[in-house]
Structure 1
Amino acid sequence: MTLSRATSAVAFAAIKTFSYTFNPWTDLKVAERLLNRREKLIPPNCTDADWSRHSNFMMRHIGCGHNPPSYYISYGYYYCSHYGKELFPDLSPAGKVWLILARKYLQINMENGLKQNMKGDVIQMASRDPNNGDFSMDVSRYKLELDHDAFKHFAFRTHPLAYLDGGIAHLPPTDLIRITMQPRLQEWGSLGTYDQVISTGWGSTKTWVGEAHDGTEYLIRRALNRLTEK
């Protein structure tokens, strides 16, 4: 059963609050199960049923007192699950491909950012299409995953690149409307960031004529703005 927007908003608020205070090591049974498979859970390409970014972080930070970024539970897991369950079945074939690719590029961008933070204090990332934008941010070396707010800010900056690289600008209007009808993704970056990306990226999209072109551009802007609406 599809949750109402109000119910989804309440559920997400509760999950977000929980994610900041949750200490995964307090569940001894889960911790023991994960530790027994530590070597398997560390590689990012692990296919074990217990692998997640959350469990992967735990296996890389044993005994140091660090907890996984709240983003992994709140925004990452919650919305990945929501869009897979609530949105994916209703999308067109092209829309389904977009959602799969967008999730893939979000993962790739996150891995790239983490790798860069292991080497230095600056993260730089660009779209696969130069017209779709780029960004740069300063984060102290090794600290990206240890700072809840910095990690969330980094993740949000990767979203416009993933959505546009996934092909959102090429989706039919029916898909864009369905995207705008999803619960608001509170705090997903600034609208200014998206407006800049959309403005530079529109020239690379397919050509529409007359009102069809204008209407589709409006829907793309509306869809992306909806994803970041506060």
Structure 2
Amino acid sequence: MREDRRLRRRNDTVREILDIALEVMAEEGVAALSMAEVARRMGMRPPSLYQYFPSRTAVYDALFERGMRETVDVLEPYRAMLSRDPRGALLAGQQSTVAWAMAHPVLAQLLYWRPVPGFEPTPRAFEPAVRQLEILRAALQAAVSAGQLSPAAAEEDGVALYTALMAGVISQQLANEPSARVEEGRFTRLTRTTVDMFFHFYAPEEGECDDSDLRGGRTPAADRP
């Protein structure tokens, strides 16, 4: 029980350190994080802070992991919609992701930009990013299987284009109108339009179908009356 209490206290302190680090980054800039300033606001000496995080890079790494895990949590509820309406699920998930980025601009910069020279997330911190990409691939493939997208949309170039478009929406909004409401932002309000553009570009051509059309007994478009 004493071990459990110590672990809880340590975890609480770690969360507080990260929260204060975000405050400092919001005020001074993402790349201007000062461990000494974090320690000062925590009311501890810098050597004590290093017992929790051995370096500034370790703080960035933990924040990157936190941000990516939160974005995955944002997307998870929409997976249940994929079997009914992949396009709707993709749009709803994207709108929620954009809203999260606007509510957490410091973390969004760390996730979608490279504001800290030389920083690379560790494999553990990057693992949720891999999970996020897997969710996107599954959503695109579901749209392909439903006949909403061409199979090319779920291939490497399609995934790369989709992520570039959405990261661009977030980056442009944060760079130009960071305090705007997500539904009114010059760029964030174009989220639906951006998704529509992607679906238009990768619209299935006549006669094109996914293998699941045949497995599920659906008739390819070219053979339909």
TM-score past 0.5 threshold: no
Q: What is the TM-score when the length of structure 1 is the normalising length?
A: 0.30
Q: What is the TM-score when the length of structure 2 is the normalising length?
A: 0.30
Q: Which has the higher helix share?
A: 2
